[in-house]
């Protein structure tokens, strides 16, 4: 009885969580401009319209540039922090790491307003670079969380053996450590890319005259006739996000298998 009740609860919870997402492709392939049931008929016209909107193309390019740069920078910083946390002890290590991970629990609206105030006080312009700086800030904790487990599960004796055989610390890291934690690095890149690509609140405050794709989508919601186009684009983003997260989870589990560590949970 308990098991049956838990299954029903889980089913209702999943339905409540994912039903709105399942509605996206339904209305994206609907031929009518009206977002309502019953559906008028099957059509791909809204996906075809995506190709003709120049402003959309610019927003997509802005988002891709921001996401790629943010993912690379966040992963590089995450590698340094995770390596330090896993291999070294120093005074204040806990508070320092806790401060770095703070954006995980801070509301994005607070981070956005604080960064906007800082940028304006410094006399800087709002651009894609201000969004990149903010996205690196929120992506680094996720990168550290992924990479720290990869470094902790790595057998330290492998590095010690390489040093004993004449390798330098840098060559040991490059030839031994880096290949072993590469699945974690790829996972960090993909997760950071996904977070940056989908992020809206911070980009809304800091993008200036260079809107990202989520900000552009928000602008389209003011026009009811554009809602089917938003549904079509949302469908593409959902599929892309699922593929990226699934790929990231694959590399994360591959990294655990390579190091012989146990799986304590993941993204999927």
Alpha carbon distance 212, 215 (integer Å): 5
Cα–Cα distances in angstroms (integers) from residue 95 to residues 92, 101, 106, 119, 127, in the given order: 6, 10, 16, 26, 32
Binned at pLDDT 50, 70 and 90, residue 74 comes out as: very high
Residue among 165, 154, 193, 167 at smallest CA distance from 73: 193
pLDDT computed for residue 194 by the predictor: 86
Which pLDDT score is estimated for 231? 78
Of 40, 175, 179, 201, the residue nearest 107 (C-alpha)? 201
Instruction: Show the domains of the chain with their CATH numbers.
Output: 40-259 (1.10.3720.10)
pLDDT digits (tens, 9 = 90+) for 43-63: 787 787 777 777 878 888 899
What is the per-residue pLDDT across 163-212, written as a single tens digit (0 to 9) for each? Answer: 667 777 777 777 777 777 888 888 889 889 989 988 889 999 998 888 88
At residue 238 the predicted structure's pLDDT band, cuts being 50, 70 and 90, is: confident
- The alpha carbons of the chain give a radius of gyration, in whole angstroms, of 22
The pLDDT of residue 71 is 94
pLDDT of residue 3: 62
């Amino acid at each position: 009885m308990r098991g049956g009740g838990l299954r029903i609860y889980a089913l209702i919870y999943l339905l409540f969580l994912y039903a709105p997402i399942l509605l996206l492709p339904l209305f994206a392939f609907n031929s009518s401009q009206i977002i309502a049931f019953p559906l008028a008929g099957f059509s791909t016209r809204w996906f075809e319209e995506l190709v003709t909107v120049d402003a959309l193309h610019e927003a997509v390019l802005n988002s891709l540039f921001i996401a790629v740069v943010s993912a690379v920078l966040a992963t590089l910083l995450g590698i340094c922090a995770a390596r330090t946390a896993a291999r070294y002890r120093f005074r204040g290590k806990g508070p320092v790491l806790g401060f770095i991970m703070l954006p995980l629990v801070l509301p994005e609206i607070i981070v956005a307003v604080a960064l906007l105030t800082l940028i304006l006080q410094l006399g800087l312009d709002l651009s894609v670079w201000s969004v990149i700086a903010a996205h690196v800030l929120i992506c680094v904790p996720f990168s550290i969380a992924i990479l720290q487990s990869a470094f902790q599960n790595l057998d330290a004796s492998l590095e010690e053996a390489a040093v004993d055989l004449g390798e330098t610390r840098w060559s040991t890291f490059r030839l031994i450590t880096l290949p072993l934690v590469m699945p974690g690095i790829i996972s960090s890149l993909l997760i950071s890319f996904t977070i940056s690509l989908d992020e809206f609140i911070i980009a809304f405050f800091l993008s200036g005259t260079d809107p990202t794709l989520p900000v552009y989508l928000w602008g389209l919601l003011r026009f009811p006739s554009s809602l089917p186009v938003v549904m079509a684009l949302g469908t593409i983003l959902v599929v892309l996000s699922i593929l990226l997260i699934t790929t990231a989870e694959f590399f994360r589990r591959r990294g655990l298998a390579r190091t012989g560590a146990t799986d304590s949970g993941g993204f999927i």
